[in-house]
Every structure is written in C-alpha cells, then in structure tokens.
Amino acid sequence: MTHSLVCADTVSRVSSVLNRNTRQFGKKHLFDQDEETCWNSDQGPSQWVVLEFPQRIRVSQLQIQFQGGFSSRRGCLEGSQRSEALNKIVDFYPEDNNSIQISYRGFWGGGGVCGLQQAASRPALLHL
C-alpha cells in the first residue's frame, strides 16, 4: 500500500504561479486533494516543483495529474540527500489528459530530497 510522503512539515517551492495569482493557482493547491483546484505555473520552457522533506525517505511511486490539455511533454524527477547536488532519478513522459498517472515505480534509497512524492532535508526537483 502506498501513501503520500507529503506532510505538514514538507516545504514546497514552485518555479512560478500563473499571473502571480497565488490565491487561485498557488502551490497550496498541489496537495489539497481537491479536484477543483490546482497549481498552475506561468508560461515558460521549464517549470518545477521542489519538495524538502523533514526526514529521510524512500520514493516508491510518483503520481501526477494534469488538467486535460495542459500537461507537460517531459518531466524529470531528481533527488538528493541533504545539501548534496540533485541527481536525476528518472525521466517521464506524461499523457495529455486529466487522469492520475503513475510516472515512476521503483525505489530510490538513502533519503534526502526529491520532487513530488519524495523526501528529506534538501529540496527535490520535479522539472515539468
């Protein structure tokens, strides 16, 4: 059984917010479990989400969901331990629909930081 590694102590950062409207499109909507809300980035070639977890973690699965018609073509999941440089874990290629997609299955050990459903005390990066 899987569960989200994102908790109240997880620190998140995003590359941008559409029209700087954090109330409607801000990062708080990334994990709010509300199908009516979402984080929406501004335009640009590379958008990202960084998650810094309060403890070491092990990523077993990455689930993402886009609005139909607004998905990225390619993503890259990166992670690290504490203050180390980020390392690529996997590239993924999401489908352009609004279903929940599992883009990564496997294990990345050692704890640290990752992007989206990962962990530890340095940021993880999810490039979209």
Average pLDDT estimate for 61-88: 80
16 burial type by CB count under 10 A (0-12 exposed, 13-18 middle, 19+ buried)? middle
Return mean pLDDT, the chain.
76
Q: How confident is the model at residue 125 (pLDDT cuts 50, 70, 90)?
A: very low
Average pLDDT estimate for 81-107: 78
Between 114 and 84, the more confident residue is 84
Compute CA distances 88 → 28, 78, 82, 104, whole Å: 25, 4, 15, 12
CA separation for the pair 31, 71 (Å, rounded): 17
Domains and CATH numbers, the chain: 11-127 (2.60.120.260)
Categorise residue 111: left if φ over 0, alpha if ψ from -120 to 50, beta otherwise. left
pLDDT of 111 over the 70 cut? no
Q: Which long-range contacts (CB under 8 A, 24 or more apart) does 42-45 make?
A: 42/16, 42/17, 42/18, 44/15, 44/16
For the entire predicted model, the pTM comes to 0.73
Highest mean pLDDT among 17-21, 38-42, 72-76: 17-21
Q: Which of 21-30, 31-40, 69-78 has the lowest mean pLDDT?
A: 69-78
Q: Which of 26-40, 91-105, 111-125 has the lowest mean pLDDT?
A: 111-125
Average pLDDT estimate for 73-92: 84
pLDDT of 75 over the 50 cut? yes
CA separation for the pair 89, 10 (Å, rounded): 20
DSSP character at residue 68 = T
